[in-house]
Amino acid sequence: MRYLSTRGGALAESFSDALLMGLAGDGGLFVPETWPKFSQAEIDAFGARPYARSAARVLEAFGAEPSLQALQALCADAYARFTDAAVTPLEPLGPGRWLLNLHGGPTLAFKDIAMQALARLFDAALDARGRKALIVAATSGDTGGAAVEAFRGRANVRIAVVFPEGRISEAQRRFMTTAADDNVLAIAADGDFDACQAMVKQLFADRGFAQRTGLGAVNSINFARIAAQAVYYLVAAARLPAGGPPPVFAVPTGNFGDAFSAFAAGRMGRPMGKVLVATNANDILARALATGSYRRGAALATQSPAMDIQVASNFERLFFECSGRDADLTRDAFENFAARGDLQIAPSMLACARALFSGASVSEAETTRAIRQTWKRHGRLIDPHTAVAVAAASGLPFDADRPLVILATADPAKFPQTIAAACGVTPPVPEAIEALAAAPERMERLPADVGALKARLLSFARG
Ligand SMILES: *Cc1c(COP(=O)(O)O)cnc(C)c1O
């Protein structure tokens, strides 16, 4: 399977090439040349198979290089440490409503699902090519921990995470700083998240540096993450009671990666009801779907920090698809957006986006209320990101008889203060967090200066 850039100026010959490159050379995002399609029988079969087999089947369909048998072993290993044998279990939350629990992995957030598979795919692809890679990720929260946990100890990869010192939670920091493996480097930068991200972008823009270090990316611009996340939509829909109408998914959204994976599941043949794009006060996507104007605002700090994002990178993939895969139009639109901070979506393209997606923005008060009410009515503690989706879904204009699946993206124990403030209950501390408290931390402090970062990463890459 070849991969095209949304901006038309680059090509990846295979899934593994797209995986290792991350961003396309022309600044666009990779998408498969054609969407793989499953038969109805196979769509239905996703409900009964073990999760790892379904994941292997989906990755194979997207052209992942290892054989189906090797992919099954890889996925079985990736998902062996999840707390529930179903990996992404559905939990009833009242009549016709479910929580889709995506936080059963080692760092208690949904990013583990894609990252655990991604790390093993990276290692295998590098092995086949006799190459090494340096993964660098800027993180404001969950991505860094999930990446460290997934890549630690892998033979062909070194992983460096750059986070804003003092601006992430203790649990989030410890997931990055307690790995003892020498292929892990945690960097506390003296700056905010935007400064961290700007530095990492500069690394990728320096072609010489990128080539010398074998630089790779694991944020959701990497198509392999989209592919690995499409699996749980296919599996969840097939696990719902048979014979009902297609489900509505409520998705807490930041970078639009998770939501775009729902689009992928639809393209692969799964009948989908609506996908509700639930945002916090950082509502660029909800505004774009409502008005057709995709316009950057100032990023606001909220109780759901993993969604405090004003530019939803994966939106470019939807734009490309809804333009009829017009790469020239997409390139102009997003180059303009980078310069001016807004773009207009033509009515026909907006209609295409609205055929699947509907947006809702949720206030801080509504998020707090959703945490409290879910606790009162169901005795279930939910994290603030999940609460954004719960709140958005409570205002749904959709058919009441459609099954509603709300994505639960983090364990509430990652945000104990927010939960306690909302409903007076402190979530129990899971073993995964308890174990971190005693482990020694390892991190290096650097100024928010790309020169200093490059020098440190060059010596780290040499090992
Ligand atoms: C990353 C994250 C999200 C947002 O996912 P996107 O793919 O960026 O839309 C939601 N909830 C949690 C807990 C996250 O870590």
pLDDT tens for each residue of 151-178 = 999 999 999 999 999 888 888 899 999 9
Residues having CB within 6 Å of any atom of ligand 1: 109-111, 142, 220, 252-259, 306-307, 385, 409-410
Tell me the mean pLDDT in the region 296-321: 91
Q: Please tell me the residue having the least CA distance from ligand 1 atom 1.
A: 306
Average pLDDT, the chain: 95
What lies within 8 Å, CB to CB, of 207 at 6+ separation is: none
pLDDT at 205 over 70: yes
Q: Measured between alpha carbons, how far is 60 from 87 in angstroms, rounded to an integer?
A: 19
Residue 271: which pLDDT band, with cuts at 50, 70 and 90? very high
User: Which atom of ligand 1 is the closest one to the Cα of 253?
Assistant: 9
β-strand partners of 295:
342
| Mean local confidence (pLDDT), 296-319 | 90
- pLDDT for residue 130: 96
Q: Whose CA is nearest to atom 12 of ligand 1?
A: 409
Place of tokens 């206030």: 363
Mean pLDDT of 105-114: 96
Q: Look at ligand 1, atom 2, and give the residue with the nearest C-alpha.
A: 306
Q: pTM of the prediction?
A: 0.96
Cα 306 to middle of ligand 1, angstroms: 5
pLDDT at 396: 75
pLDDT of 399: 61
**Closest among 133, 122, 119 to 463, alpha carbons compared:** 133
The residue among 248, 313, 233 whose CA lies nearest residue 43 is: 233
What is the position in ligand 1's atom list of the atom closest to the CA of 383? 13
Ligand 1 center–CA 105 separation, angstroms: 14
- Ligand 1 mean position, distance from CA 319 (Å): 20
Residue 162 alpha carbon to ligand 1 centre in Å: 18
- pLDDT beyond 70 at 397: no
The CA–CA distances, whole Å, from 408 to 126, 390, 434 equal 33, 9, 22
Structure tokens at 227: 């592919």
Q: CB of 229 within 8 A of CB of 265?
A: no
Above 70 in pLDDT, residue 400? Answer: no
Taking the C-alpha atoms of residue 150 and residue 33, their distance in angstroms, rounded to an integer, is 28
Q: Which residue, among 243, 284, 245, has the nearest Cα to 398 in the 3D structure?
A: 245
CB neighbours of residue 397 within 10 Å: 8
pLDDT at 71 over 70: yes
Q: What's the rounded mean pLDDT across residues 249-277?
A: 97
Ligand 1 center to 252 CA (angstroms): 7
Q: CA–CA separation, 154 vs 74, rounded Å?
A: 13
Q: Which two tokens stand for residue 246?
A: 């297609």
* Probe target for ligand 1 pocket from 169, 226, 307, 383, with the most ligand atoms within 8 Å of CB: 307
Number of residues that this document lists for the chain: 463
Expressed in angstroms and rounded, the spacing between residue 114 Cα and the centre of ligand 1 is 12
Give, for ligand 1, the residue of 255, 316, 383 to mutate: max count of ligand atoms closer than 8 Å to Cβ: 255
CA of 147 to the centre of ligand 1 (A): 14
When pLDDT is averaged across residues 43-56 and rounded to a whole number, the result is 97
Among 258, 275, 311, 415, say which to mutate for ligand 1: greatest number of ligand atoms within 8 Å of CB.
258
Q: How confident is the model at residue 308 (pLDDT cuts 50, 70, 90)?
A: confident
For ligand 1, the distance from its centroid to the CA atom of residue 6, given in whole angstroms, is 23
Indicate the range of 123-127, 148-152, 401-405 predicted with least confidence.
Answer: 401-405
Cα of 96 from ligand 1 centre, angstroms: 24
**Residue from 121, 120, 158, 133 nearest 14 by CA:** 121
pLDDT of residue 235 exceeding 90, the answer is yes
**What pLDDT score was predicted for residue 245?**
93
Whose alpha carbon is nearest atom 8 of ligand 1? 255
Q: Which atom of ligand 1 is nearest to the CA of 255?
A: 8
Q: Give pLDDT, residue 195.
A: 85
pLDDT digits (tens, 9 = 90+) for 327-374: 999 999 999 999 999 999 999 999 999 999 999 999 999 999 999 999
Contact (Cβ atoms closer than 8 angstroms) between residue 276 and residue 256: no
User: Residue 398 above 60 pLDDT?
Assistant: no
Q: How confident is the model at residue 393 (pLDDT cuts 50, 70, 90)?
A: very high
